[in-house]
Amino acid sequence: MWVLYSLVIIQLNCNMFNIDTYISNSIAFFQQEKLVSVIEVLTELGGLYGLLFISSCIALFVFCKKIKFTTGVVMGMSILFALTTSVILKHVIERVRPPYSLILETGYSFPSNHATIAMVVYGFCIYLLHKYVDSSVGRGVCIGLFTFFILFVGFTRLYLGVHFFTDVIGGYVIGGVFLALGIWCDKRLGKRV
């Protein structure tokens, strides 16, 4: 019955902001107070602490694999430009956060910085693994894990009620654009060396 109700609502409410409301209400149905503190920690996979930890791991990976220094610079610049673009867009668009969040967040809602960071950082990890790891099993497991992290960070932002669905999608798009530019730059620079 609930699935049928969901399909009818999707058909009746096809514009973006109704999708936001529908998805927020659907997630609210499953929210549990006892999970909030766990989800709040896990959402940092796309936050500042997650960024610092994963960036340190990537730096170590780049060093151990003797990958060109320019690859690390390109990745860093991709993250910096993606995050800067995301922050600027927040202040230009000024979309207020959902009124029903489970944790306190300040600032504007669109786009999600966590989703932006997750897409660029974990996306770049996927690129590096695909390019430099020989074991297809190890590479496949790590790529699957990083893909899960990208999607999971977006879900945590929705679960905590601090973003609308379109905020997360916007963050993924911005992150994806700068990820693609970073990969393109890395490949171009690789041809010159």
Residues 135, 113, single domain; the answer is yes
CB under 8 Å, gap of 24 or more: what pairs does 153-157 form?
Answer: 153/43, 153/45, 153/46, 153/50, 153/114, 153/115, 153/117, 153/118, 154/46, 154/112, 154/114, 154/115, 154/118, 156/39, 156/42, 156/43, 156/45, 156/46, 156/114, 157/43, 157/46, 157/112, 157/114, 157/115
- At 11 the pLDDT is 43
Same domain, yes or no: 85 and 159: yes
Residue range 33-64, pLDDT digits in tens: 777 677 667 667 666 777 777 777 777 777 76
Domain containing 5 equals 1-30
Query: Above 60 in pLDDT, residue 26?
Result: yes
pTM above 0.85, yes or no: no
Give the pLDDT confidence of 100-152 residue by residue, as tens digits: 776 777 788 788 898 998 899 889 888 888 887 777 887 788 888 889 889 98
Same domain membership, residue 91 and residue 9: no
Q: Are residues 23 and 93 in the same domain?
A: no
Same domain, 114 and 94: yes
Query: What's the rounded Cα separation, in Å, for the pair 17 and 23?
Result: 10
Same domain membership, residue 43 and residue 115:
yes
Q: How far is it, in rounded angstroms, from Cα 27 to Cα 73?
A: 38
Residues 81 and 7 in one domain: no
